[in-house]
Chains A and B, each alone.
Chain A
C-alpha cells in the first residue's frame, strides 16, 4: 500500500489567497484526520471524519478553514483567505474506525503564507 498520500508537499502562497490541501487515505480506512503542527502549538487535531461524515471539528480555528470528504478516498482542507499565521505543516492521517488500530500519517504539507 502506498500509505496516506498528501499533496502538495510544499505550498507557498501570498496572504489572502485560497489554499487547498489534499489527502488520499489508505484504502479501506474509514476514519480520516487533519492535524496542524507549529512550533508554538505543537501537533493539534483540526477535524476528523468517520465514514465521510465530520465527527469533530472543534479544532478548526475559524471560518476561514473548511474540510470536506466527498468520498472514501479523498479529502480536502481549504483555507480562504490565507494568513501568515496559517503557516504550518498540515498532516493527514487515516485508520479503521472502532479498532485498536493505529492512525497512519501522511508525509505532510508544509504551507508558507507570505
Chain B
C-alpha cells in the first residue's frame, strides 16, 4: 500500500472548519483514500473514503486532488468532541484488506 504523510499535530478553533491534509504521492490507480479517527482510549472510527471524486457525508468532506497525490479532510464546524488523532490511509480495494496506520495528525479543538 502507498505511504501517507500527515502533519503530526494541528489546532483549530471551535466552530471553525478543520482542514487536515494528507500526502499520498505514490498512490496507485486502484487504491482508495480512507480517513479514520481515534478519540482517546477508543477504537478507531471510520470517517469517510474516496477514490477520485470528492465525497461528503454527515461527518466530513473529503477533497482529493485531480492527480490523487494528496487529499484534505474537512470537518466543517469543529467541536470539542472532534479532538482526536486522524489517520489518512490508502488501501487497495480487493485482494488486500489490511489497513496500515501511520502516526496520524493529532487535532486539538480549542474552545
Contact residues of A with B, CB < 8 Å? 4, 31, 33, 42-45, 48, 50, 56, 91, 93, 95, 97-98, 100, 102-108
What residues of A have a CB within 8 angstroms of the CB of B93 in the complex? 100
The verdict on A45 contacting B43 (CB below 8 Å), with A98-B94, A102-B49 known, is no
Complex interface: chain A residues within 8 A of B38 (CB): 43
Interface centre among A43, A107, A108 (most CB of B within 10 A): A43
A80 to B43, CA, bound (A): 25
Nearest first, the 3 A-B pairs at minimum CB distance are A105-B43, A102-B46, A43-B101
Q: How far is the CA of A107 from the CA of B45 in the complex (A)?
A: 10
Give the secondary structure class of A's interface: strand
Which residues of chain A have C-beta atoms less than 8 A from B49's C-beta? 100, 102
**Contact partner of A105 among B45, B98, B102, CB < 8 A?**
B45
Nearest CB of chain A from residue B44's CB, rounded to whole Å: 5
Task: Answer whether A45 and B103 are a contact pair too, CB < 8 Å, given A91-B43, A93-B43, A102-B49.
Answer: no
Interface size on B, residues (CB 8 A): 21
Identify A45's interface contact among B34, B42, B87, B98, CB under 8 A.
B98
Chain B residues with a Cβ under 8 A of chain A: 32, 34, 38, 41-46, 49, 87, 93-94, 96-103
Q: Are A45 and B100 in contact (CB under 8 A)?
A: yes
Do residues B99 and A103 form an inter-chain contact, with CB atoms below 8 A?
A: yes
Chain A residue nearest in CB terms to B38? A43
28 A-B interface contacts by CB (under 8 A): A4-B43, A33-B98, A33-B99, A42-B101, A42-B102, A43-B38, A43-B44, A43-B87, A43-B101, A45-B98, A45-B99, A48-B97, A50-B97, A56-B96, A56-B98, A93-B43, A97-B97, A98-B94, A100-B32, A100-B49, A100-B93, A102-B34, A102-B49, A103-B44, A103-B99, A105-B43, A106-B43, A107-B42
Q: Which of A4, A95, A105 contacts B97, CB < 8 Å?
A: A95
Q: Give the distance to chain B from A10, nearest Cβ to Cβ, in Å.
A: 11
